[in-house]
Structure 1
Amino acid sequence: MVPGDVLAAVPAAREAAEAEGRRLRCDFFDDEAVLKMLRLRHIDEMQLHYAGKRLAYPTAIILFGLFAYWGPTSSTGNPPGTRISTTRRPVSSSPPSWCSSSER
């Protein structure tokens, strides 16, 4: 961190610090004010980080559970745990036994 005395000594840095100070409502020549602003920024970033974790972890677990359930269901067409065969029986060229020749 550059001390406020050094910023005040350089005219270009002084003008930039004054312009940004008006925009951010912070006195960049006051070292304590700058440190307080940096501490508050760090606290805000930590709070956002933990808020993101609180949202992301349950979402990831739910999505994993959905994919684990939906994967076998969508590939076979049957819910998990059912014993319905997904293989097709071969199609025969002869008519079924219940169909008489007069009905054709």
Structure 2
Amino acid sequence: MPPMPRVPEQAAVTRIKKHLANPGQELQTIRDSIGESFHRLYRQRHLVLHSGRLDSVALAASLRTVAKLAGVGMDRITHGHYVQNLRPLDLVAKANMALALIGNGSPLDRIGFLEIN
């Protein structure tokens, strides 16, 4: 692979190499990071709702991070409902099963995980 000129591109190549080397572990790391982001948002919500605190230094960062994740999640739920006729909890169960079964085989074997039609 040719060297990438910019730091974000270099970071992307590093992430892809890690994923190809150990996909199950990397997908679990991504899943854990998403869960932690939503937990941070919940803690910030708790501070705002129950303490009336709007001056938290982490509030803006939590909102900025989770807004994109929530949007992608809602898009996926909507797609699952209209295209695959799946209820949200069925979609979660299907995703959990796919994560549990993903192996270290060929990267092409993992395309089905994305459900690209």
TM-score range, shorter chain: 0.3 to 0.5
User: Is the radius of gyration larger for structure 1 or structure 2?
Assistant: 1
Give the structure with the higher percent helix.
2
Question: TM-score w.r.t. structure 1 length?
Answer: 0.33
